[in-house]
Structure 1
Amino acid sequence: MAVIELTEGDFESTITGNDIVILDFWAPWCAPCRAFAPIFEAASENHPDVVFAKVNTEEEQALAAHFQIRSIPTLMIFREQVILFAQPGMLSAAQLEDVIGKVRELDMAQVHEEIRQQQAEQG
């Protein structure tokens, strides 16, 4: 699957309509972002069932602010609408594959239950 450009207008439907969504927060002037782009693109070809999306922080400042993006590139991974990974800095191809593998292996029923328990304790 090709990498898509994500905007504020299609953000929610993308997150809610797909099992795994990997976001790359980037900017055109960012050299590490440009270096990471081919790694991100290659991973998207290896995982056609995963949505790979780029968020241009220059054009989508509201999204960048919402997620408190302070450094780019920042990689964020959602599964079943839960943020499981958020980290600034580029990853190597091997590191990205490792993270994707770990996200796939998670027992999401257990994750959702832990979230429910935390919300109940706070509520």
Structure 2
Amino acid sequence: MDGSSASEQTPWWVVCLCAAWCGVCREWQPTFSAQARANPHLRFAWVDVEDEDDAMGEVDIETFPTLMVARGEEVLFLGPIPPSSTQFTRLLATLQAQPRPAPGVDAEANALFHRLRPQVLPQTAV
């Protein structure tokens, strides 16, 4: 399985951008944590956007939960996700199989990832 070893060498991040006041986020957190346990080869982080207001920059999260999925240094997906375990599993599988970012992922998504990563992500694993 040559592709698998290459994938293991490239770090993956699955970041939930949420808010402490959001009831949907609180309800979805166990599903997010379950995905983290089911995918130990991926790095998961739960980030409160209000706590990280400076790092968020011009990115305005309008719908919760919002996911950011990055492979290496490149964001493949940034957008809202329905709080469904099935759709979350499907999204992760699809992203791991695709070679390029999803349509609509812009430079600001990558800039956000780079701002969050040194401050929050290394110590915020689920």
TM-score range, shorter chain: 0.5 to 0.7
Higher CA-based Rg? 1
1:43 aligned partner, one-letter code: Q
Q: Which residue of 1 aligns with 2:24?
A: 32
Q: Secondary structure at the match of 1:21?
A: strand
Give the match for residue 64 of structure 1: 56
Decide whether the 8 Å contact of 1:24 with 1:54 is kept in 2.
yes
Question: Which residue matches 1:11?
Answer: none
Deviates more, 1:90-99 or 1:48-57: 90-99
TM-score, normalising length from structure 2? Answer: 0.65
Q: TM-score, normalised by structure 1?
A: 0.66
Q: Runs ≥4 in structure 1, deviation > 4 angstroms?
A: none
* AA aligned opposite 1:95: Q
Q: Which runs of 5+ in 1 are unaligned?
A: 1-16, 113-123
- What is the Cα deviation at residue 89 of structure 1? 4.2
Which one-letter code corresponds to 1:86 in the other structure? L
Give yes or no for contact 2:28–2:83 (8 Å, CA) kept in 1.
Answer: yes
Number of residue pairs matched?
93
Root mean square deviation, CA, Å: 2.1
What stretches of structure 2 of length at least 5 have no aligned partner?
1-8, 102-126
